[in-house]
Structure 1
Amino acid sequence: MKPHLSEGANCHNCGAIVSGNFCAACGQGTTLHVASAREFLHEFIGHYIALEGKLWQSLALLLFRPGRLTTEYIAGRRARYVQPLRIYLTFSILFFALLKFGPHQLIEKDALASQTTTASEPGKVRVTTNLGTINPAWEARVHQIAAMPKSQSIGLFKSIFFSYVPYVMFLLMPVFALYLKLLYLGSGRHYGEHMLFALHSNAFAFLMLGLIQSVPWTWLNTALMLWLLAYLPVAMQRVYGGRKLATGVRWAVLMSIYVITAAAVITGTLFAASVVF
């Protein structure tokens, strides 16, 4: 039997007097027991992945109706869909997991295995930098990495990449939204709306890239890549309106500056993580 708090007892969470199956003050259930493995799994799937209905409705709009999920959220129809931050985190985590452990990894295991420790002999690598004028320790670290066997340097790169880049991409979401804000100055849109669009559009990008990473058929990969390229301007048109030519120009500017920003930030992060820290 599962112990149940009696009428007039106090909630173990907030201390309020309870009546019924749930506390009226904080919402915690009054049936108290140690959860089984099945209940833990149900909670994870039902509440964190939102698999029971919300995920499928959100996926349908995210995949096939560019910008519609954002307009639905702005219009106040939110309870039926997965929250924007959750859907972004879900697909970004899945993408980086596929990139690390999937069939087409960033660095193939076989390629690593084929590298012997004598592939790059210490002392034969020559690297010239000006880092010594800034910090001699940085230049020493660069020479140390350059002298590593290739398999070891690749392993170091993979470790740093998967330790930092997922967080970098998440922290770039406000930058993506800021660029949208600047491109649509005078539209009356609040920054939060641009942030919402950034989360949805980047969640779609991670989902598509994850599918491209997983499917083995070239023709399907090509179709997915074309849909990925076409998706953002269509979504921008639906959410922000305006002339299609103006939307196309904004899309080109947005992608140019964002790709440059992301490349610079990721490169700087990888350098700092491997050399500076």
Structure 2
Amino acid sequence: MDDAGLSGLAGGTAAVVASADLASLAAGGGRAGHGHGATGDCLNCGTALTLNARFCSQCGQDTANHPPSLFEFVHEFVSHYIAVEGTLWKSLWGLMARPGFLTREYLAGRKQRYVLPLRLLLTLGLLFFLALKLMPGSTHTLGRDGEEGDEVAQVVPDAASAASADSIAAAKFAKARKKISERSGDTTILSPDLASQLPQGMQDRVHRAETHWRADPKASMHAMGATMMGLAPYAVLCSLPFFAGLLKLLFWRQAYGAHFVFAMHLHAAWYGMLLVAVLLPWGLVVFVVWAWSNIYPVIALKRVHAASWWTTLLRAALLAVLHWFIIGLGLLALVMAGALAAA
């Protein structure tokens, strides 16, 4: 065979191989894995991809190069932000039924088996505040007249306040404020002496808020409740470093980071308990939630720090007092923010 024939045969073979490669890539079986526009290299870092790789071994990016479908987008959101897959159910059992268990596992280095503390906290917090807003009689009715407004904060009773102060105390204040206003017509947000010490811009805002309270109490109450409910999740997150600081003062031998992990797990558990109480507002269920919310921290502290029962009880009591002080300051800030929202 002459050189021209060999050249033609080589060209034909190359064409067949190229066609097979293109077909393989189009079918999702190429080196890039799957998806439209897949190549043999990672589009993010340029690393050569192994056969049928779904993710880059260097940077972790997926190999599918196409706009996500609606199902893929929802799946991505749920798996990353709501955490309903994989280890969630095992994590929930360890969180709700075994106080201190997840913190001990995390500090022992067994992290991959369970949902990470921050994701667990955000997931349960999101579900709780969503349920609190959507369930009948919840705090989204603040500022309304009639029996619905009078039943605000009755979804979870007073007894559960140890775990729910950050979210339900807002409703209690709004209810009390409404009754006081109906009796006396008082619309003073701050005392004159305290208001005079504020910057001029803040004084003007307080004055506008009081004017709105006098003109339309119902709308002002509703705006106040909506603002407080919107800020409550952020208030809880902002309180975590202070709560961890209190733990550091009481259990000084443990590193601050370990206390922060404990704080996230504890508040996630409280969110889970409150979620149960909101979804199942029955007397027995609410009583069990209240009892467990008060017993849970003591057992968790005992297991994580391996102290004696008397030492744990004494420090837990002191922690509760200091924590309520922080909650009071945070609630005061929420009340002020809610009252000024009408301005």
TM-score range, shorter chain: 0.7 to 0.9
1:153 aligned counterpart, secondary structure = helix
In structure 2, how many angstroms separate the alpha carbons of the residues matched to 1:81 and 1:225?
Answer: 26
Aligned to 1:101: 134
In structure 2, how many angstroms separate the alpha carbons of the residues matched to 1:51 and 1:36?
Answer: 20
List gaps (5 residues or longer) in structure 1.
none
AA matched with 1:196? V
2:220 to 153, 158, 167: 153
1:172 aligned counterpart, secondary structure = helix
Percent identity over the alignment? 33
Q: How many residues align?
A: 268
User: Where do 1:238-257 residues align within 5 Å?
Assistant: 238-257=303-322
TM-score using structure 2 length: 0.71
2:144 to 94, 109, 112: 112
Shift of 1:130: 2.1
CA shift in 2, pair 1:125/1:171, >3 Å: closer
Deviation string, structure 1 residues 181-220 (Cα, Å, up to 9, x no partner): 00012x3x11110000000001000111121112032111
Structure possessing the higher radius of gyration over alpha carbons: 2
Aligned to 2:32: none
Aligned to 1:225: 290
1:180 aligns with 2:247: yes
Aligned to 2:153: none
Aligned to 1:13: 44
1:78 aligned counterpart, secondary structure = coil
AA matched with 1:259? W
In structure 2, how many angstroms separate the alpha carbons of the residues matched to 1:132 and 1:264?
Answer: 18
Q: Is the 8 A contact 1:181 1:194 kept in 2?
A: yes
1:63 aligns with 2:96: yes
1:30 aligns with 2:100: no
Deviates more, 1:266-275 or 1:202-211: 266-275
AA matched with 2:305? Y
- Larger helix percent: 2
Q: Over aligned residue pairs, what C-alpha RMSD do you find?
A: 2.7
Q: Is the 8 A contact 1:95 1:210 kept in 2?
A: yes
In structure 2, how many angstroms separate the alpha carbons of the residues matched to 1:107 and 1:130?
Answer: 33
In structure 2, how many angstroms separate the alpha carbons of the residues matched to 1:244 and 1:42?
Answer: 45
AA matched with 2:94? L
TM-score using structure 1 length: 0.86
Q: Is the 8 A contact 1:104 1:213 kept in 2?
A: no
1:44 to 72, 77, 83: 77
List gaps (5 residues or longer) in structure 2.
1-25, 27-34, 150-178
Shift of 1:164: 1.7
Deviates more, 1:233-242 or 1:42-51: 42-51
CA shift in 2, pair 1:48/1:268, >3 Å: closer
